[in-house]
Amino acid sequence: MAKILVDKTEITILEINEKDYISLTDMVKNIENGLALIEKWLRNKNTIEFLGIWEEMYNPNFNSPEFEGIKNMAGLNRFVLSVKQWIEKTNAVGIIAKAGRYGGTYAHKDLAFEFASWVSPQFKLYLLREFQRLKEEEQKQLGWSAKRELSKINYHIHTDAIKQNLIPPELSQLQTSIIYANEADVLNVALFGSTAKEWREANPNLKGNIRDYASINQLICLSNMENLNAVFINKGISQQERLKELNKIAIQQMQILENADNRAILR
């Protein structure tokens, strides 16, 4: 569930079967008799034709014969159609009536944009802009999550090198965990400039750890550094020398990544 602010109106977006459904109810909540607009739109003959075409394209269970009967009735003075009736008669999936906390009438984004255009072309443009902004933010978060997972995978390469080269078999579990944490802090200091403990003490109100708040570029750099530090450990390079070298690499790689981002923005 997500919310966007469109022309001072907060609109809910739900993900249903991996598709975005936008609240029509929210769109009209600040309009006098707004809920009546939804059924008025639904009774419009052009709307019925549009909804039917959409359902036939994307819904294999759509009841086309029943739709034809509804389409033939549309436009008559006695024609009445509610969202519930439309769904029950045609097995439509593009529009849903949802009960509960986030109850109301929701429509697949294709249909919701059509409704927004019918209500107000200006409102539709605002809606499109904010919806696109939301999708861009989601893509950024998706990219961050992928990089975070990559750094976690590479961490196993890092810890294996530590296990094979820096941990004598006679050490206790506590002593072993201290070595792992100490080597993790080599990367933390090289990239972030502080140990995990120092970060926690400086940010007592934040959950998680220092790496959970890293940027995408920092996570890319971290993944590279985990691999490099594993190589350095296998070569027997001292921790002090590894820290110096990793810090130089971190500075260089972050500059390259930041410059690449700036060039992408200017294109």
Tens digit of pLDDT at every position of the chain (267 positions) = 788 888 888 999 998 888 999 999 999 998 888 889 998 999 999 999 999 999 999 999 999 999 999 999 988 888 889 999 999 999 999 999 988 777 899 999 999 999 999 999 898 998 988 888 888 777 766 656 656 666 666 667 677 778 888 777 777 888 888 888 888 899 999 999 999 999 999 999 988 888 888 888 888 888 888 888 889 998 999 999 999 999 999 898 888 888 876 665 555
Task: State residue 33 phi and psi, 5-degree precision.
Answer: 55, 35
CA 50, 53, 54 angle in degrees (round to 5)? 85
Contacts 24+ apart (CB under 8 A), 9-12: 11/127, 12/102, 12/104, 12/106
Q: What is the pLDDT of residue 96?
A: 93
Contacts of 19 by beta carbon, 8 Å cutoff, 6+ apart: 108, 109
Segment 81-85 long-range contacts (CB within 8 Å, at least 24 positions apart): 81/39, 81/42, 81/43, 81/48, 82/39, 82/42, 83/38, 83/39, 83/42
User: What's the pLDDT at 110?
Assistant: 93
What pLDDT sits at residue 67? Answer: 94
> Rounded to an integer, what distance in angstroms lies between the CA atom of residue 193 and that of residue 190?
6
Kindly state the tokens that stand for 61. Answer: 């269970």
What is the predicted pLDDT for the residue at 109? 93
Asked if 59 and 93 count as a contact pair (C-beta separation under 8 A), the reply is yes
204-227 burial by CB neighbour count: b if 16+ within 10 A, else e?
A: eeeeeebbeebebbbbbbbbbbbe
> What integer pLDDT is reported at residue 27 of this predicted model?
93
In the prediction, which pLDDT does 198 show?
92
Give the per-residue pLDDT at 112: 94
Give, to the nearest 10 degrees, the angle between helix 45-58 and helix 109-119. Answer: 170
